[in-house]
Structure formats: C-alpha cells, structure tokens
A and B are shown apart, each in its own frame.
Chain A
Amino acid sequence: MILIEMLSWLFIGAGALLGIAGGIGIHRFPDFYSRLHAAGTTDTLCAALFLIGLAMQTGVSVASFKLLLIFAFLFFSSPTASHALANAAMLGNLKPYLDENNADQQP
C-alpha cells in the first residue's frame, strides 16, 4: 500500500526532525532544568513517531509487535527518567535559572 508507505515516511521524517530539534535544544537553553525540557519532551514523541513509522513499514508481524512494545516501554520510562533526573538535581542543590519577573518563586 503506497498510502501506508507514505504515511510511515511522514512519521519517520517528523521523528528525525524532532530528534535534531531536541539535540539543538540542549545546546540552546541556558541551564540544566530547561535542557531537561528540550531533551525529555522531544525524546518521547520522537521515539513514538519513529517506532510507529517503522511498525507501518514492517506491517502486522512479530517485528511490529516488538516495536510497539519498545514504544510502550519508552513511553512509561522516559518521563520517569526525566523526573528522576530533575529530582536528583534538586536534591543535589542545583539552583535553577528563573525568570526575574516571577510572581511566586520557590526557594
């Protein structure tokens, strides 16, 4: 099916661009916590787009089942890893860079 093929190209292309955007993001942002947004947020969707796109290419088979399993695992573990990183950084007394005109800052 040419339609599914093209759809999978679309997904994989979008995933690739998203990955590169995340890579640029971790260089553009000024401090650790904002880099966490760039990496953590794009990671999930990038992986999702890639794996769904690849699953379309392989069709209904054991391979696509495994790809979807990887997707499910990454979907649950990626935010957990982000949270663990942020939590560890906060416990390690890493001060975030905050906006000055900020109404309610937490110490």
Chain B
Amino acid sequence: MILAVAAIAILVTIALALARAFMGPTLYDRILAVNMVGTKTVLLIAVLAVLSGRTEIIDIALIYALINFIGVVAVLKLVEHGNFYASGEED
C-alpha cells in the first residue's frame, strides 16, 4: 500500500522535474532536471520491483544508476567542450 503511494509520489516528482526540464531558462537547469528524473527513475524501478515481488528487477535499477551518472557527466563534458575529447586533448 505504502509502496503504491510512494510510486505515485515519485511520479509526481518526476512530473515536476520534467516541467522544469521543458521550462528551464538555461541549459544547466535542464540538465539538472534530467539528472533528477534519472535518480527518481532508479528509485521508481526499485519500488516497483519490491511492489511486484520480482526482486530481480532491482538489477535494472542498479544499471540505470550507473548509466545515469555517466550520461550526466558525458552531457556536461559535451556542453563544456563541444566534443567528447578528454579535457587535456584539445587545442
């Protein structure tokens, strides 16, 4: 019961973050919001896994947490340098 309520609360948070991602005046606001959506998605997957009793789904949450972090850092690097080169390699 509490798990269903928690899942709905996470969905509300994701909706709020998505609104910020669409509105966001600057690019960084959007990345921040997307990062937040990613973290909340990890939690949502974990909650749904426990809710449905199929705990092997937690593996997906684990992978998603890893991918989300790498994705955010990659996007930031792209914004910062305009390409994916390591910071020392350009000019």
Contact = CB atoms under 8 A, between A and B. Distances in A.
Contacts, number: 131
A58 B55 contact: yes
A74 B76 CA distance: 18
A57 B50 contact: yes
Contacts of A69: 62
Contacts of A57: 3, 50
Interface in A66-107: 66-67, 69-70, 73-74, 77-78, 80-81, 84-85, 88-89, 91-92, 94
Interface residues of A, number: 45
Contact of B35 (A32, A46, A54, A81): A81
A63 B48 CA distance: 13
Nearest to B3: A12
Contacts of B42: 47, 70, 74
12 contacts: A9-B2, A13-B2, A15-B6, A17-B9, A20-B9, A26-B32, A26-B36, A35-B20, A39-B33, A73-B66, A88-B28, A88-B79
